[in-house]
Structure 1
């Protein structure tokens, strides 16, 4: 997961225009609530699925899931995800809090993300815990014990203090699920680079990272296997770089050493390219690059 810069609001979602589809859709629900004293039984939420909204989201996310960074465009264009669920909150139900869902944000641009189906929908997954040995990984693959993950209507907040009213100040609510448009998540995750799969864990036990990993299933089997494909390429680059630096340190010919150092620079540029926002699993690549830079600095010190 990496920071995502939100694009300007699409015209169909512009609340500044009272005649925009989003403004009309929300106002219709507000008017019904004022007249009837309750929400419609089945409120219509249609504008968020407008093609204009989807197109901007795909471009803004570089065709990747906002949460796990897998490419969605290869086989499915992804879901328009409501960060704050529009119809009810599972975590509130479990806490005995009656929550109508954030219906007033169903058509709000700042509440929409692009998500893959595995992160957005409730599914049974094989989840690998971080820190497993290779023997543990093999055992889990044999036993195939599945867990239900996926966001759906999950939305935990600190102290179970959800905002319930559409006129309330949202600033008083502190979600545990990370929104990459609101928070730079990179320093909150710690990646494991040494195993046959690529797992992630919360750095320093951060509760937001912990909740995000658990809810979205960011260590689900096929995602960890997809990430390790990128990780293996980075590992190969690291091996070349470290080997060449060791050779440089043993060289007496300054010209040859300089030429070999140039290949190290070129290899590091390729590692940097993997960190670009448009590439899948850029968060993993950036963490790997930071670790590699630390190794290089120690070798050159």
Structure 2
């Protein structure tokens, strides 16, 4: 997981973004009002009681709101390229380039419902809020039901409670999300990777909130999917071999500016640099390389930005 600075996203938002959002909410409100009018007309014709009308109106407005928000999904899908630029096209959660999705945008606070809170209507009021969007691959975002590949964030949003979830736009609870957020720098530091390519907590106290957050994030973001873990393990292997090769060349008295050594260093830089478009899992690669920082030349690489 790599830190994403939302200030950088905001700078590049389209100039007409707010106008588009305002127009979308006008559309949503209109569809809800139309739905209510239709129910009331039917209720008058069928002599429904006031309680029946109120119940049916509430259900109709909620249904109309969901449909209208979905109809305006371009307000998040149109930002996918902009969000992708922040991570060189890699998933914000796992740093994979295997997005496998035409609409790789996750609503961090889910817009339609919250699995962990059955009475929650979803954070519908954040549906068009760009700062709630996360660029995500299918494995991290989609619900998975197969036993061998359980995971996927989907509509999950677990909290440490109390306080409770904010269930309306007027609620102001200081929510304590369990899931790690790539837009929070401190969250990204809580996750590390072992030599087997597995994501794991960066601390050992299994009773701490930070430990629990990492474990829940690994589960719901699907961070230890078999293919992902294997790819990280291969990166660790390649880094170990490149470091060993470079040390052998240096010990043999080869000039550090030789083609062989410079090629090794270039390959290591590609693996650890988040801005490199041809590599993935760069945070894991940097952590793996840092295991060899007793060598000054490795320290020098890690210091490069």
What's the TM-score bracket when you normalise by the shorter of the two chains? 0.7 to 0.9
Alignment partner for residue 55 of structure 1, among 81, 103, 115?
A: 81
* Cα pair 1:13 1:23 within 8 Å, conserved: no
**Cα separation, 1, equivalents of 2:126 and 2:16:** 11
TM-score if structure 1 supplies the norm length?
Answer: 0.73
Residue in 2 that maps onto 1:132: none
Residue in 1 that maps onto 2:62: 40
Judged with a 3 Å threshold, the aligned counterparts in structure 2 of structure 1 residues 104 and 69 are, in CA distance, closer, same or farther, namely: same
Residue in 1 that maps onto 2:274: 277
SS of aligned partner of 2:116: helix
Judged with a 3 Å threshold, the aligned counterparts in structure 2 of structure 1 residues 146 and 52 are, in CA distance, closer, same or farther, namely: closer
Judged with a 3 Å threshold, the aligned counterparts in structure 2 of structure 1 residues 210 and 56 are, in CA distance, closer, same or farther, namely: same
**Cα separation, 1, equivalents of 2:287 and 2:82:** 28
SS of aligned partner of 1:40: helix
* Cα pair 1:26 1:104 within 8 Å, conserved: no
Unaligned runs of 5+ in 2: 37-53, 300-305
Residue in 2 that maps onto 1:164: 167
Alignment partner for residue 211 of structure 1, among 186, 211, 216?
A: 216
**Cα separation, 2, equivalents of 1:13 and 1:173:** 31
The ranges of structure 1 where at least 4 consecutive aligned residues each deviate by more than 4 angstroms after the TM superposition are 27-33, 35-39, 75-78, 260-266
Residue in 2 that maps onto 1:71: 97
Larger-Rg structure: 2
- Count of residues paired in the alignment: 257
Shift of 1:102: 0.3
Query: Residues 1-301 of structure 1 correspond to what in structure 2 (within 5 A)?
Result: 1-6=1-6, 7-8=9-10, 10-11=13-14, 14=17, 17=18, 20-27=19-26, 29=28, 32=32, 38=58, 39-43=61-65, 44-45=68-69, 46-50=71-75, 52-72=78-98, 76-93=101-118, 98-124=119-145, 146=148, 148-159=150-161, 161-169=164-172, 172-193=174-195, 195=196, 198-204=197-203, 205=206, 206-244=211-249, 247=251, 256=253, 259-260=255-256, 267-278=264-275, 279-293=279-293, 295-296=294-295
Judged with a 3 Å threshold, the aligned counterparts in structure 2 of structure 1 residues 28 and 40 are, in CA distance, closer, same or farther, namely: farther
* Cα pair 1:67 1:180 within 8 Å, conserved: yes
